[in-house]
Amino acid sequence: MAAIHSDEFKRDAVRIALTSGLTRRQVATDLGIGLSTRGKWVRAISEEAKVPAQDAELLRENERLRKENRILRDLSRTRKQSGGLFSRRMR
Most confident of 7-11, 42-46, 59-63, 68-72: 68-72
> In percent, how much of the chain has pLDDT > 70?
87
| Listed range (14-23, 61-70, 80-89) with the worst mean pLDDT | 80-89
* Average of per-residue pLDDT across 58-86: 88
Q: Is the pLDDT of residue 1 over 60?
A: no
Tell me the three-class secondary structure of 3-58, residue by residue. CCCCHHHHHHHHHHHHHCCCCHHHHHHHHCCCHHHHHHHHHHHHHHHHHHHHHHHH
In CATH terms, the fold of domain 7-81 is Arc Repressor Mutant, subunit A (1.10.10)
Q: Please state the domain extents for the chain.
A: 7-81
pTM for the structure as a whole: 0.52
